Structure 1
Amino acid sequence: MHLRDDRPGTCWPDTWSPNGGKPEPVDAGPRGTIVREVLEEVGLDEEAVPLTHLFTHTADGHLTYVFRGRWDGDPDTLTLTEGRALAFVDPKHLGNRPMSPLARYAALRGLATELEDTAHAEGVHDLVAGGLLVHEGQLLVVRRNRDDYLGGTWETPAGRLEPNESVIDALHREITEETGLAVAVDRYAGHFDYTNSRGRTSRQFVFTCTPEKPGPITLSEHDRYQWVRTLDELPPTTRELRSFLEQRWP
């Protein structure tokens, strides 16, 4: 990513962003644009970094085509021609680095694709997105309805991916559906595997999230919720989730 200029008129000044830019008449479509931009901005051609289309983002009538690539060269050989700095950023640890919403989403979508590809390569195809919703040091847990599988068990908000849905999109959708809350994704916390109701292996990818507001909470798939400060306050949950939380939270 590169740190954008802070000159007046710069879009999202002084924030970190993937390389890219607007199309020019000489470009042969979105791929031609990104190939040219990467070459101009850091000096890498398509032979050095083969690029594949990751997703297309639509907002306010504007389309942004996001591509992914892999390069294992020496960062010191890159030539910065736009912006004020250049850095390789681990999408698992974006932290408070200033970024536009689209830049942060693109980084997380790239991470999600890597996670999904790894799971599939390991033979795990039932994928779940889950969130550790933390507010003022407290973790939100919810209780499964009594007539559900593992009814009465407490868990963190989570749900299965729908067809052609990314982990990040499923994460936001499931949290909103189950709690009514909108969240900002802070970081990737890890994953754990468990046996689901169909006797298959599910892999749950877990992200720490901060609610935009702590409430009101509207439950649609659970009958109770609770905020807990420590694992000692955690109500009965699954062995897999408790083990994960013991290692990753707080």
Structure 2
Amino acid sequence: MTSLLPDSLAETLLADARRDGIGKYVVGALIADEGGRVLLLRRRADDFLGGCGRRTRQFTFAVTVRATGPITLTEHDDAAWADPGDLPAVSDETRALLTG
């Protein structure tokens, strides 16, 4: 596994998940630019975050980037930079995360 986290933090996160009986891990990111805009990605219509019957834990990290493009999509079919105060249609969970 390649990680930019300190080894101790990554080991602690994974150990806690294993202790809790988690069998699958996914990673998310809140990506913002230096102006405060956030990157919104849309999953392809045929994609979903299924756990395949296993308990899943999502690790979400916040990062700020200097450069905002170009963006190469692999698991998503659309991307847009948005101001958190002027979001397009997003889920209630996403809106709560982005607006604090």
Q: Same fold (TM over 0.5)?
A: yes
* TM-score, reference length from structure 2: 0.76
Q: Supply the AA of the counterpart residue of 1:145.
A: R
The answer on whether the counterparts of 1:149 and 1:197 sit within 8 Å (CA) in structure 2 is: no
The answer on whether the counterparts of 2:22 and 2:55 sit within 8 Å (CA) in structure 1 is: yes
The answer for unaligned runs of 5 or more in structure 2 is: none
In structure 2, the partner of 1:61 is none
Partner SS, residue 12 of structure 2: helix
In structure 1, the partner of 2:77 is 223
* TM-score, reference length from structure 1: 0.34
In structure 1, the partner of 2:63 is 209
Percent of matched pairs sharing the same residue: 34
- How far does the alpha carbon of each residue in 1:25-77 deviate from its partner, in whole angstroms, 9 at most, with x for none? xxxxxxxxxxxxxxxxxxxxxxxxxxxxxxxxxxxxxxxxxxxxxxxxxxxxx
Q: How far is 1:215 from its partner?
A: 0.6
Q: Is residue 2:8 matched to residue 1:110?
A: yes
Higher relative contact order (CA 8 A, sep 6+): 2
Q: Is residue 2:97 matched to residue 1:245?
A: yes
Change (3 A) 1:203 1:197: closer
Q: Distance in 1 between matches of 2:88 and 2:77?
A: 16
Change (3 A) 1:109 1:223: same
Higher relative helix content: 1
- How far does the alpha carbon of each residue in 1:81-130 deviate from its partner, in whole angstroms, 9 at most, with x for none? xxxxxxxxxxxxxxxxxxxxxxxx5x622211101100110111211122
Q: Is residue 2:27 matched to residue 1:143?
A: no
Partner SS, residue 209 of structure 1: strand
- How far does the alpha carbon of each residue in 1:146-199 deviate from its partner, in whole angstroms, 9 at most, with x for none? 22237xxxxxxxxxxxxxxxxxxxxxxxxxxxxxxxxxxxxxxxxxxxxx2523
Q: Is residue 2:26 matched to residue 1:128?
A: yes
Change (3 A) 1:231 1:118: farther
The answer for unaligned runs of 5 or more in structure 1 is: 1-104, 151-195
Change (3 A) 1:231 1:109: farther
Q: CA RMSD in A?
A: 2.6
